[in-house]
Structure 1
């Protein structure tokens, strides 16, 4: 997921948190300035395995000790493909500044990490996940068109310029662009393509076709624990990226809807009846040098022992990969790879009911989640409807979300002065015994705040 934070980023109080999903949101707001102290948005999910609530609060030291149908439950009867994802987006100290009522600039520093995996048919997932090697699958042929995994962690230094392009009183159009200086920390990918195989017995299998494509940099190769110790503010892996967006606002006559008095900065900013936004985010990528031992592999092999290609207890994945190279035929590949950002199309609709109550619709559509390139991260496409209450110093958000894996979620978020906290999944997770996704967000901002006089007849200004 991107940093939409439960519908909050599309609200007229989002300020700097509206910029990552649409840079045009920076222009023509009520905020003369806006400083982010810190913000974190994180999500984890999959379609194949569910875990009981107890595991969330008491995670195991390792996955090896988990027992099926006690510590996890698999969706073995599905007829579709299986996927997994995770991301963390940390907004470091950042600022937005309004040059005047029509033009704004922003500098946003983000530390981002994202992982994606999947594309595997459920029957193949069952083959490997259900007590592999399992004799019940003997003499069955399995076909795996594609299965992939990727991970990317990077710094992002974003410079945004936004301005109002047209304003005739009723119709307002603003545009914005963000230029990104990218600094990569760790990146890697693995993808199996066009594999077909049969397990003849517990000690013999034939692989008729298939290719394994692999690449990772030193940051992955030398990954340490705890995970936070791998963070570096500046490395030698540089890249460029860009966001671009437009926002249209319709400003009908709205008696008493203005939430600010005329002593505030830009009192007419954000006084819209309807808002529509479109943006494309995360163009670009970073080039990395592969670790010297990286090589693609032809997986064709006869009479191979399934136990030999199974990861051993306590074996690190780097050691596992080097051992696999002994059993298969190396294929020459490039010494470098380019890790693409999770490019997405964002569409947002916001309707102002009475200046305190709003309803927002937002769609995030991945533009690079196909097979064509294994070295990428990508968004989980999803659509969210968020009813919200937005007062000057207090807001409530109820995001209702469905993603492209037909998973339904409901969450809650709260804004109290400079603090925003919530989750897109907290309400739906309350009613689910076993879970396969969770998320959360928290942000602390410094913005101009006045608790003094308000205009009579402006109910939004009373809170």
Structure 2
């Protein structure tokens, strides 16, 4: 990497810019027998006098520079399940490219200098700028030698976040924030497609396609004079011009060639064992087919990497296998921004001749996410907390509101009691616009005239001291009404509009006859109850009340029930003294008439003869 710069524009979106230079050389489908012959300059008799086949021998080289833009985004965040996806769009600048491939290549060597059989189709080419290197006229390797190309990387990652709650917190008014300074996954699976794309180059002047059909002994020493591509091309050119027609130039009408970048599919699995210990498995699978002529590729590869990884230090032990390098056991360490390692530490322990050691190093300067500081643990970060040492609320930038009334303590004159903003945080429980601390009746809405106490009936006596708070009354009656001013409350006064004594329940009895005036038909004259308070009359003036007087309108003695005595026979004797009240008679005969003696005798004789 020349430069790789990534940053977040939000907690869920990251962007990046990068520039990197890459170079890959591939040799594919090379039979080990040909490799042995090449290593020994064909001087290997055990492979002489044998017909050998080389199908699709392919040699490719590509050096290029990438300028790219990264984009990544969280696409699902459901607590325990988390997915992010992203990609890179790359502008590709080819620096140099070359290819060589064969088809139907067969040969049979008589010895190191002569072949019995040499035939096949051969194509080779290179980017035009290599002509300048051949001629020694160019020294700028990184100059663009291709048309601009486009490349794409795509990928996605799934994380299983077991116990995700311990990685989330609330801060600065947000809830469920992920702790970005910690790895949160228990298991992570990723998949990506890499290096889709390529570049088109102008062919160099010595690029050519030709065929060899030599079935007769052929002197291979003609190639010994060729020490560079130019001289090799001259040898091929001379062979083609030979009238024997064993070497044939194939027509190549293309002035350009397209070199593909090493497209591959990668699958990654990562398991968080415990604390800083992890186990990773990664596979890389080449996506470019064998029959693609101009391309570079990565080998199919699988690796397992146990690691210990913390923010400032890491130790990795990659075990890797691919068909070219076989099994390798590497080691790498990270100390701060610096990473150094070796792809196969066994070379350090090998005895005898060691052909090479592959080392790598990298410098990466991350801006690490740290734990957000919150000294007073009030879920307001120190950088935004205006009361950094006192727990408070986000709504007040970390300053406290002890009574929870929505007014910070610094502006609250009654910080321990919930109150109202209009009273600088002091309470007015009864809502009468008089602060409780100045209100003699803090739980009853009142008026300022009475220091916050109510006077519901408007009698100038506050309700707490008014025994009749809803009825206007008198101070001497403790606020209860007394319309007749008899010192008996109207509620207890049977005659609230007439002055009366307490023993009469507030009703008057003017004549003191025991009947209240309102039921006394003669309120100013004493009278018995049975006559509704009026006195009984004596109409005839005989001293006997009419109610006891048999003759109320005629005077009479009491012993005759108030009636006068009668003299029915008008003989001068009252009937009570008259033995014959209906027959007049002299007083001397008690009112009976006097009978002569002769009459008496006649009557006696008559009665005696009646015969009863």
TM over 0.5: yes
Out of 293, 296, 301, the residue aligned to residue 374 of structure 1 is 293
2:127–2:145 Cα contact (<8 Å) kept: no
Aligned to 1:304: 218
Task: Report the number of matched residues.
Answer: 359
Out of 267, 282, 285, the residue aligned to residue 365 of structure 1 is 285
Aligned to 1:413: 332
**Distance of aligned partners of 1:299 and 1:397 in 2 relative to their CA distance in 1, 3 Å threshold:** same
Secondary structure in 2 aligned to 1:99? strand
Aligned to 2:273: 353
Comparing 134-143 with 98-107, which one deviates more in the overlay? Answer: 134-143
Specify every segment of 5 or more residues in structure 1 that has no aligned partner in the other structure, as ranges.
1-90, 456-463
Q: Using structure 1 for the length normalisation, give the TM-score.
A: 0.70
TM-aligned CA deviation for residue 129 of structure 1 = 2.6
Aligned to 2:304: 385
Aligned to 1:20: none
TM-aligned CA deviation for residue 243 of structure 1 = 0.5
Aligned counterparts, 1:234-313, within 5 A: 234-253=144-163, 267-268=179-180, 270-301=183-214, 302-310=216-224, 312=226
TM-aligned CA deviation for residue 230 of structure 1 = 4.2
TM-aligned CA deviation for residue 197 of structure 1 = 1.8
CA offsets 1:196-235 (integer angstroms, 9 cap, x no match) = 1222355542335311111101233333799x95432545
Q: Do structure 1's residue 403 and structure 2's residue 313 form an aligned pair?
A: no
**Distance of aligned partners of 1:311 and 1:176 in 2 relative to their CA distance in 1, 3 Å threshold:** farther
**Distance of aligned partners of 1:342 and 1:204 in 2 relative to their CA distance in 1, 3 Å threshold:** same
TM-aligned CA deviation for residue 320 of structure 1 = 2.1
Aligned counterparts, 1:186-225, within 5 A: 186-201=96-111, 203-207=113-117, 209-223=119-133
Out of 89, 103, 106, the residue aligned to residue 179 of structure 1 is 89
Once residues 339 and 373 of structure 2 are traced to their aligned partners in structure 1, the CA distance between those partners, rounded to angstroms, is 24
CA offsets 1:115-169 (integer angstroms, 9 cap, x no match) = 1113121223223332425555443211111222111111101111110111100
TM-aligned CA deviation for residue 448 of structure 1 = 2.4
**Distance of aligned partners of 1:358 and 1:135 in 2 relative to their CA distance in 1, 3 Å threshold:** closer
CA offsets 1:387-433 (integer angstroms, 9 cap, x no match) = 111112111111111113471111111111121221222x1212334
Comparing 291-300 with 337-346, which one deviates more in the overlay? Answer: 291-300
Once residues 113 and 7 of structure 2 are traced to their aligned partners in structure 1, the CA distance between those partners, rounded to angstroms, is 66
Q: CA RMSD in A?
A: 3.0
1:133–1:306 Cα contact (<8 Å) kept: no
CA offsets 1:85-124 (integer angstroms, 9 cap, x no match) = xxxxxx1122101011111111110111111113121223
Secondary structure in 2 aligned to 1:123? helix
**Distance of aligned partners of 1:276 and 1:432 in 2 relative to their CA distance in 1, 3 Å threshold:** same
Once residues 131 and 209 of structure 1 are traced to their aligned partners in structure 2, the CA distance between those partners, rounded to angstroms, is 19
Out of 232, 237, 250, the residue aligned to residue 320 of structure 1 is 232
Once residues 4 and 113 of structure 2 are traced to their aligned partners in structure 1, the CA distance between those partners, rounded to angstroms, is 57
TM-aligned CA deviation for residue 451 of structure 1 = 8.5
Once residues 415 and 236 of structure 1 are traced to their aligned partners in structure 2, the CA distance between those partners, rounded to angstroms, is 37
Aligned to 2:260: 340
Aligned to 1:3: none
TM-aligned CA deviation for residue 284 of structure 1 = 0.5
Once residues 384 and 129 of structure 1 are traced to their aligned partners in structure 2, the CA distance between those partners, rounded to angstroms, is 31
Aligned to 1:104: 14
**Distance of aligned partners of 1:171 and 1:437 in 2 relative to their CA distance in 1, 3 Å threshold:** farther
Q: Do structure 1's residue 331 and structure 2's residue 250 form an aligned pair?
A: yes
**Distance of aligned partners of 1:137 and 1:357 in 2 relative to their CA distance in 1, 3 Å threshold:** closer
1:223–1:230 Cα contact (<8 Å) kept: no
**Distance of aligned partners of 1:383 and 1:318 in 2 relative to their CA distance in 1, 3 Å threshold:** farther
Comparing 104-113 with 297-306, which one deviates more in the overlay? Answer: 297-306
Once residues 272 and 376 of structure 1 are traced to their aligned partners in structure 2, the CA distance between those partners, rounded to angstroms, is 38
Once residues 383 and 213 of structure 1 are traced to their aligned partners in structure 2, the CA distance between those partners, rounded to angstroms, is 33
Once residues 154 and 202 of structure 1 are traced to their aligned partners in structure 2, the CA distance between those partners, rounded to angstroms, is 38
CA offsets 1:303-346 (integer angstroms, 9 cap, x no match) = 3202123475xx12343244233223211122211110011111
Q: Do structure 1's residue 93 and structure 2's residue 11 form an aligned pair?
A: no
Comparing 352-361 with 325-334, which one deviates more in the overlay? Answer: 325-334
TM-aligned CA deviation for residue 236 of structure 1 = 4.7
Secondary structure in 1 aligned to 2:42? coil
2:79–2:164 Cα contact (<8 Å) kept: no
Once residues 190 and 121 of structure 2 are traced to their aligned partners in structure 1, the CA distance between those partners, rounded to angstroms, is 42
**Distance of aligned partners of 1:336 and 1:281 in 2 relative to their CA distance in 1, 3 Å threshold:** same
Aligned to 1:122: 32
Once residues 454 and 352 of structure 1 are traced to their aligned partners in structure 2, the CA distance between those partners, rounded to angstroms, is 26
Once residues 379 and 311 of structure 1 are traced to their aligned partners in structure 2, the CA distance between those partners, rounded to angstroms, is 35
1:221–1:318 Cα contact (<8 Å) kept: no
* Max Rg structure: 2
**Distance of aligned partners of 1:454 and 1:444 in 2 relative to their CA distance in 1, 3 Å threshold:** farther
1:139–1:200 Cα contact (<8 Å) kept: yes
Secondary structure in 2 aligned to 1:180? strand
Secondary structure in 1 aligned to 2:22? strand
Once residues 325 and 99 of structure 1 are traced to their aligned partners in structure 2, the CA distance between those partners, rounded to angstroms, is 60
Aligned to 2:594: none
Q: Using structure 2 for the length normalisation, give the TM-score.
A: 0.54
Aligned to 1:150: 60
